[in-house]
Amino acid sequence: MPDAERDAPLLGARGLSKSHGESFTLRVDRLDIRPGTVTAVLGHTGAGKTTLLRILAGLDAPDAGVVRMDGMSLSPGNPAPLAWRRAVTLVAQHPYFLRGTVGRNVAYAPAARGAPRAERARIAREALAAVGMERHGTRRPRELSGGESQLVALARALAARPRLLLLDEPAAHLDAGNARRLEGLIRRLAGPGGPAVLVATHGIEQAYRLADTVRSLAGGRLIDAAPENVFRGTAARRGGLAVITIGGGLLVEADSVREGDVTVAVDPSAIVVSREALRSSARNSFPGTLLAAAARGGVVRLEVDAGVVFSVLVTAQSYRELSLQPGETVRLTFKTTAVRVF
């Protein structure tokens, strides 16, 4: 699609908040979802991911703020119109099914949107084929495994032909092979003519493999950073940069005008790991001890103690070339632009 069209938000949220009693409040200052893209929202269980998806789907109203799409809006006291609910489809982590067969469940989506009776079965077959479940149309949902149920729920969502597809922990019940197949399917979906996709997940490696944009929920607030490498600190201005003291005295430099108490987030994919100090213009460089390494697919997640524990994402090839073992000393290097200050 033309760049101007792709850059224009399909959906925009501003100033959202939603409270659950006195213990938790979701806050979203700004969220834009653009056509043809995959956005990942990272966060642990209870971080507010499902609450956010339910608001965007029009199932729950926010306590404050507004969400806009195609001239429509959602806000307190302004519920989602039918056109909104038809444009946005949520696949829950634990989907519900109607009585009857898998095929009937999937065909219900185009039927509810007014598709001619003669086309409903065809749309359902195509949607099941897209997720590799075309041979299961005559089965009953109760006969499915957890992973199969998730794939059928996704097929039902695809059959609705939404403009925005919301996926709540879509790989939670899938084995590694089916999870990677699902990731490939999501990437193919978000191409020209397909829906925009918002994925809520706790898997940081999956988010970075999958998404064009990664956001996270930290302390109930949606921030433009991964949920790892988030530290509290104190910022002071020095020479046009912010110098932030975190942990037990580690100094991190950032492009920021903030001062005082701040939250710092360092992108784990923007940290370079080396055995020796690098010749680099990057202003942040620290020695550390490799604590652990965990591989998943083509990505390796490292934990390095540099006074505070940093998470670092490197490719499997880079990790092999470094030939590192837990307990060894490494060097972490990252630019000021890799540091977000809130």
pLDDT digits (tens, 9 = 90+) for 135-147: 999 999 999 988 8
Dmax (CA) of the chain: 69
- Residue 178 in contact with residue 201, Cβ under 8 Å? no
Instruction: Please list the residue range(s) of the chain that carry CATH number 3.40.50.300.
Output: 3-223
The CATH class that applies to domain 230-341 reads mainly beta
What is the pLDDT at residue 342? Answer: 80
Q: What is the pLDDT of residue 2?
A: 47
Regarding beta strands 213-218 and 272-274, do their DSSP bridges make them parallel or antiparallel, or are they unpaired? unpaired
Give the per-residue pLDDT at 56: 97
- pLDDT averaged per 10 residues, the chain (length 342): 61 93 84 93 86 95 95 93 93 90 93 87 93 92 89 93 94 81 84 88 79 82 77 90 91 92 85 92 94 82 94 89 94 93 83
CA pair distance 334, 252, nearest whole angstrom = 10
What pLDDT is attached to residue 104? Answer: 93
- Parts of the chain belonging to CATH 2.40.50.100: 230-341
The per-residue pLDDT for range 181-225, each reduced to its tens digit, is 888 888 888 877 789 999 999 887 778 778 888 888 877 888 876
**DSSP characters over 101-127:** -HHHHHHHHHHHTT--HHHHHHHHHHH
Evaluate whether 155 touches 128 at the Cβ level (below 8 Å).
yes
CA distance 229 to 102: 43
Residue type present at position 144 = L
Q: Which residue type sits at 36?
A: G
Q: Residue 120's pLDDT is what? A: 93
Q: Which residues contact 340 (CB under 8 A, 6 or more apart)?
A: 223, 224, 225, 254, 264, 265, 266, 267
Look-up of token digits 């490498």? 229
- CATH architecture of the domain with range 3-223: 3-Layer(aba) Sandwich (3.40)
